[in-house]
A = this chain, B = another copy of it.
Amino acid sequence: MELTAQQIAELLDGTVDGDPKASVHTIAKIEQAQVGSLSFLANPKYESFLYTTQASVLIVPETLVLKNPIAASLVRVPNPYLAFSELLHTVDQMHNGQHSKGIDSQSFIADCATCEEGLYVGAFAYIGKQVKLGKNVKIHPQAYIGPNVEIGDNTIIYAGVKVYKNCKIGSDCIIHSGTIVGSDGFGFAPQNDGTFQKVPQIGNVIIGNKVEIGSNSCIDRATFGSTIIKDGVKLDNLIQVAHNVIIEENTVIAAQTGISGSTQIGKNCMVGGQVGFVGHISIAEGSKINAQSGVSKTIKEKGKSWNGTPATHFRESYKTMAQVRQLPQLEARVKELENLVKELLERNP
């Protein structure tokens, strides 16, 4: 890779501010970049590094006003993170010109499976009976696709993913290693003798299009009906999605969050890491849930931010935290009042 500021501006439909011939051969974080590096500024938290970075070219917001002169050539664009992401796509494609294709002789494919062109099935991958795989589907080594599963065009299933029987995965999805789709929901009926009887989980999981799921996450099958993850949802690593949960379009959920059974998360929500949702509630569209929150009730107001356990409005939760921190002062004020009142009582026997 060897690109000039001018070439980058053309690729990204931006404008150059500085030397258009400044050239880069690698990509680095703004705080670590050396001469010859391309970097970008999207998070204002990193703005001070503008004046110290050795990067040769920087992608910055078009509205950026410099407080001091800087060495790097700037490429100004409306949305630096998005522009940078597009550039990474270009670089990524340069590196990965050839995609895996073909069926490895050490794989297992039941003869009644339906496969279309462009399919890759890696070594030690297992494709069960009646499976339907769309065009350009990539099943990496050691993945397991159970009987009667359907997977849409261009979906990538990485090494070691397990998809239980009857589940459906849409087109243009990416599922990372170690994720389990369709294992039994956690349902047990208590018996009088203290033991539990398993409630069979006869439903499935339905995943829409353009969904990405990270590593080692778990999406349980429904008791009956379907656990549903709709188009454009992005799930991080180590996430728990219980039986009969529904996650609506374009919701993004960070790592280690858990969603209990039958809860419904609205569209365009952003959920931080290590959040917990109790079962049988619903969360309004556009909700933002802060990391480590515990959500115990249905949220009906759309587009609000929530924090804490039990989760309350973001501002309220911060006010409460501040008041808790002020408790020593409050106690001191009460102490002072007690002294004054004692004195007053002595004066007024």
Of the listed stretches A8-16, A59-67, A111-119, A158-166, name the one at the interface; the rest are far from the partner chain: A158-166
Knowing A177-B162, A183-B214, A188-B252 are in contact, say whether A220-B237 is a contact too (CB < 8 A): yes
Complex alpha-carbon distance, A278 and B274, angstroms: 11
Complex alpha-carbon distance, A262 and B236, angstroms: 16
CB-contact partner of A158 in B45, B92, B183, B195, under 8 A: B183
Knowing A82-B197, A214-B183, A291-B278 are in contact, say whether A159-B159 is a contact too (CB < 8 A): no
CB neighbours of A327 from chain B (8 A): 320, 323-324, 327, 330
Contact residues of A between 69 and 115, Cβ < 8 Å to B: 79, 81-82, 84-86, 88-89, 91-92, 95, 104, 106, 108
Give the residue name and chain of the B residue nearest to A124 (CB).
B124
Main secondary structure of the interface of A (DSSP, over half): loop
Contact residues of A between 109 and 138, Cβ < 8 Å to B: 122-124, 126
Tally of chain A residues near chain B (CB < 8 A):
116
Tally of this chain's copies: 3
Contact residues of A between 178 and 208, Cβ < 8 Å to B: 178, 180, 183-184, 186-191, 194-200, 202
Q: Does A43 contact B (CB under 8 A)?
A: yes
Knowing A291-B276, A292-B294 are in contact, say whether A85-B126 is a contact too (CB < 8 A): no
CB neighbours of A267 from chain B (8 A): 194
How far apart are A212's CB and chain B's nearest CB, in angstroms?
7
Are B215 and A28 closer than 8 Å at their CB atoms?
A: no
Knowing A189-B81, A240-B273, A337-B337 are in contact, say whether A180-B178 is a contact too (CB < 8 A): yes
Contact residues of A between 208 and 254, Cβ < 8 Å to B: 210, 212, 214-218, 220, 223-225, 232, 234, 236-238, 240, 242, 244, 249-250, 252, 254
**Cross-chain pairs A/B with CB under 8 angstroms, 14 sampled:** A27-B224, A89-B200, A95-B202, A126-B141, A142-B162, A160-B160, A177-B180, A188-B234, A194-B232, A291-B294, A319-B328, A320-B325, A326-B331, A330-B334
Since A218-B255, A276-B292 are in contact, a sample of 7 more A-B pairs with Cβ atoms closer than 8 Å, ordered by chain A residue number, is: A91-B202, A214-B218, A216-B238, A274-B274, A274-B294, A291-B294, A341-B341
